[in-house]
Amino acid sequence: HDGRTSSAYGNTGFAFHDHRPIAADHSILSASENPGTVVVRRVVIGALVLGGTLSLAHGAWIPAKARLAQVLLNHAWHETLRSGGSAKPWPWADTWPVARLIAPSHKKSMVVLAGANGAALAFGPGHLTTSAPPGVSDNSVIAGHRDTHFAFLKAVKLGDVLQLQEPDGALHDYR
């Protein structure tokens, strides 16, 4: 027998008889592989797939969390305007809105938070509490990250107006 086979349709092919060992999942092992190596390889592949999936999920979580925080901050600002008090954006927050910074020509509006620490600045610009309160006629310092919330400042031109809204709703223009 030369190994040739014929099908009912007249096609000719070759049949190979493989005498390699068969693993528990019916895959064929090469002569140099042992079942332990296959298990280790599958565990490593599974761990890599799981790690990649978790990394993608974490990467998607950060922007989702940032968007949700902006919704909560805007809600807290509107509550501050309505009540005249300090409304926290979420129950465990250690900051609250103290003003709104508006750049009309750049279509930007952002809530300014109490404190210029890392926790506050992660969500938006923060008011340095050792400076004058926003809106008074003294030096008030508002800090923010230049590559996120304050990225628009690189496009500000001489004469552009920046507005600051106080918790009582009063607007102040700055040029």
Q: Which pLDDT tens digit goes with each residue over 67-89?
A: 888 899 999 999 999 998 899 99
Query: Are residues 142 and 127 in contact, defined by beta-carbon separation less than 8 angstroms?
Result: yes
Tokens of 155: 């496009």
pLDDT digits (tens, 9 = 90+) for 46-67: 999 999 999 988 887 777 777 8
DSSP letter (8 states) at residue 21: -
DSSP letter (8 states) at residue 30: P
Strands 142-143 and 97-103: unpaired
Q: How many CB atoms lie within 10 A of CB 88?
A: 16
31 three-class SS: coil
Query: What is the rounded CA–CA span in Å between residue 64 and residue 144?
Result: 20
pTM > 0.75: yes or no = no
Report which of 22, 4, 24, 6 is spatially closest to residue 14, judged by C-alpha positions: 4
